[in-house]
Amino acid sequence: MSFTGKYELQSQENFEPFMKAIGLPDDQIQKGKDIKSISEIVQDGKKFTVTVTTGSKVLKNEFTIGEECEMETLTGEKVKTVVQMEGNNKLVASLKGLKSVTEVNGDTITHTMTLGDLTYKRISKRI
């Protein structure tokens, strides 16, 4: 299954408590909570480019499945990680104690991030 496509955020759960927990400032949380972010994923074999645009903020990460890479987090910090693929539709990575799982099912992409016992879930649809 290909991840390639543009996806618009449809719904999210636990946005504010999760963003507070990872250290995002309150003003950024308030600005970001009502914006429908657009995620663009380009997959070329095992190589991925993921660009998330939220208002004027653009977060772009590139990685190859199974190889160490440097990723920028939501707080702007750069961390090293290895992204693995589970099955043919799930990307899994760990960034400083945070587990990130991105799963594609048809035209829906579900991104779940877990930090301790707090889970943040985003559901986006292909546009």
Of the candidates 63, 32, 59, 31, the residue with the CA atom closest to the CA atom of residue 47:
63
Enclosing domain of residue 86: 5-126
| pTM exceeds 0.75 for this model | yes
Looking at the structure of the chain, the number of domains it has is 1
Give the pLDDT confidence of 21-65 residue by residue, as tens digits.
999 899 888 888 888 899 999 999 999 999 999 888 899 999 999
What is the CATH classification number for the domain harbouring 85? Answer: 2.40.128.20
Q: Amino acid letter at 121?
A: K
In order, the DSSP letters of 67-113 are SEEEEE-TTS-EEEEE-EEETTTEEEEEETTEEEEEEEETTEEEEEE
Give the pLDDT confidence of 78-111 residue by residue, as tens digits.
999 999 999 999 999 998 889 999 999 999 999 9
